[in-house]
Amino acid sequence: MTLISISDIDKAHSKIEQRITRTPLITNESINSLTNAKVYFKLENLQQTGSFKIRGASHKISLLSEEQKDKGVVAYSSGNHGQAVACASSDHHINATIVMPKNAPKIKLENTKSYGAQIIQYDPLKENREKIGLDIAAKSNKTLIKPYDDLDIICGQGTVGKEIAEQLQDENITPDIYLCCCGGGGLIAGSSFYLKNKFSNIKNYSVEPEGFNDTQLSLQKKRIIPNATSSHSICDALLAPQPGKISFAINKLTLEGGLVVSDLEVKKTIKEIAESLKLMTEPGGAVAAAAVLSKKIDIEGKTIVVMLSGGNIDYDFFLKIIKENYE
């Protein structure tokens, strides 16, 4: 079964390319010598709204009918998807309602508000965000903009894979490995699919935080496995309860397997990226880099593409992380 094609992603890209930033793909000597590998970072933390999510959201919203646009949209999100939907809605003068957890990073809450969206906060320990979102959509005839389990969203996120492929081809680089964070699996589905098509020998791996390794387990069992318990992780962007149906249907065909990193490994990585690359990354955005720096797979001498997916981290938390001594 073919759910998406390269041309779907190419089309999505031509729809949104004026709206998004073609983010840099950079390598850094300190990181390369630390890892004995050639590591290329895709800087989606420099993307508009501070994460890749604007790609999918602006693609999806650009496809709505005039009637749907009049009624408005609703989204549930730990923050980055919410910001992106709010921002893309504001572009199209659409009303947006965003359902966000009470404990979302302040920076994500404030940014979402700044785009004029209505925010509804919920308690993630007691309430189900999907249900709240669906209820609002049903009552008000608003269109629900899902965070990942939607082909239009996946094709939108996949445009980052197109950019990576072009940036690598411009430099005559053939990648061995692609590492990408994975929450519900939309970003990795679109981007890995694109890269696998352009570089047939590439090995794609999902990277998840400890306790939220539902995609790793699902890939092992070849069926969707939810996270066993409600663990805790600092990676607020990657806490989806289980892989999306559509995203997993793609991922099970294009991924080699899944990797897992600890909160401590993520913190060390945020510090290393600040030191070597002068970049602010959020925990969920740094897991793929953490897998490289913690050498979760054999990367010796290899060419690796690492997704840095977002930079929306509260300043206090960022400082706490970069000031800590992890020796």
Contacting positions for a second copy (CB under 8 A)? 21, 23-24, 26-30, 43, 45-46, 48, 50, 274, 277-281, 311, 315-316, 318-319, 322-323
Directed axis angle between helix 80-91 and helix 53-62, to 10°? 40
**Residue 203, token pair as written in the block:** 């090995």
CB-wise, 100 or 280, nearer to a second copy? 280
Least separation in angstroms between CB 75 and a second copy: 20
**Do residues 283 and 51 lie in contact, with contact meaning Cβ atoms separated by under 8 Å?**
no
Looking at the Cβ atoms of 40 and 148, the one nearer to a second copy is 40
Residue 290 CB, nearest approach to a second copy (Å): 17
Nearer residue to a second copy within complex by CB, 45 or 157: 45
DSSP 3-state of 98: strand
Distance between CA atoms of residues 4 and 189, nearest Å: 10
Residue nearer to a second copy on the CB measure, 45 or 216: 45
Instruction: For residue 74, give the H/E element and its range.
Output: strand 73-76
Residue 224 in contact with residue 218, Cβ under 8 Å? yes
Q: Which is nearer to a second copy, 139 or 278 (CB)?
A: 278
At its nearest, how many Å lie between a second copy and the CB of residue 62? 16
Q: Which is nearer to a second copy, 45 or 218 (CB)?
A: 45
State in angstroms the smallest separation of the CB of 15 from a second copy. Answer: 17
Could you tell me which of 317, 280, 325, 294 has the C-alpha nearest to residue 35? 294
| Nearest distance from C-beta of residue 38 to a second copy, angstroms | 13
Nearest to 79 by CA among 56, 59, 99: 99
Q: Are 191 and 182 in contact (CB under 8 A)?
A: no
User: Residue 58 CB, nearest distance to a second copy (Å)?
Assistant: 12
Question: CA–CA separation, 266 vs 286, rounded Å?
Answer: 6
